[in-house]
Amino acid sequence: MAIKHAILGFLLQGPAHGYRIKRIFAPFASKGGLNDGQVYPLLTQLERGKLVEKETVRQRKSPNKNLYHITGLGTQEFLHWLTGPEDETDHLKYDFFAQYNFLIKCNFFEHLTRKQRIEKLNRQIAAAQEKIAEYERIRDEMRKRKVDCHKVRILEFGLKTQSLKIEWASAWLEAELRRGRPNNHKKARIDSPGTQASEERACVQRTALSTRRRQISRKTPATEE
């Protein structure tokens, strides 16, 4: 993510202090988040480049705050980045692999038992379902607040990504279930018969039912701003 230009774009909407900038961008940064050691040196760099200006706001009962404003030069730099091709193409050949860490483990699934694979796939489905619920809640709030429709569409991308994860993991889950059915006697004996197979079938059925209910609930169209 082009954090520098994203900060400039954020300041184009109005001045802000470093803490608020960090809080806004933390969910979009790397796993470790966006910390003070990244935000303030970057703001200092932007200030030295005359892309932003710092205003010290004095407070009686609290420490002074630094409020950052974008400059005319900063606006030019931001618009040059926004209208140009920079940061629009993923340079990694398998960018999806780098963005979804679970795939790294999937590469070594042959070392797991079928039961372990099923458990992991079920966890992925459950996690994606939780994200969908959260994204839908945020999207509905954005629409109520009449947030710019382009920002809502970004969230729609996240929703479709999580739906695709559920579809993909559910198909793999069904394949694992078929491998454990009675006609595959050798595999059934290795993984343990009877109770384990019944538990796995019940687990998959619950996951499929939950996914189906969510799909039905999303069929009612929402009004786009």
Give the predicted TM-score (pTM) of the model: 0.59
Residue 191 has pLDDT above 70, yes or no: no
| Cα distance between residue 169 and residue 128, in whole Å | 10
**In the sheet that 16-17 helps form, which strands lie side by side, from edge to edge?**
16-17, 65-70, 52-57
Residue pLDDT, tens place only, 112-134: 999 999 999 999 999 999 999 99
Q: Which domains does the chain have, with CATH numbers?
A: 3-83 (1.10.10.10), 97-217 (no CATH)
Residue 113's CB: how many other CB atoms inside 10 A?
12
Residue pLDDT, tens place only, 3-47: 889 899 999 999 998 888 888 876 665 544 555 577 888 899 999
DSSP string, 18-51: HHHHHHHHGGGS-TT---HHHHHHHHHHHHHTTS
Mean pLDDT, residues 103-107: 90
Cβ atoms of residues 42 and 7 within 8 Å: yes
CA 138 to chain centre: 13
| DSSP state for residue 221 in the 8-state scheme | P
Residue 2 has pLDDT above 50, yes or no: yes
In three-state secondary structure terms, 190 is helix
pLDDT at 213: 63
Give the Cα-Cα-Cα angle 17, 18, 22 (nearest 5 degrees): 125
| Cα distance between residue 225 and residue 222, in whole Å | 9
What length does the chain have? 225
> With 0-12 CB in 10 A as exposed, 13-18 as middle and 19+ as buried, what is 52?
buried
Q: Which residues pair with 54 in a beta bridge?
A: 68
Mean pLDDT, residues 78-97: 80
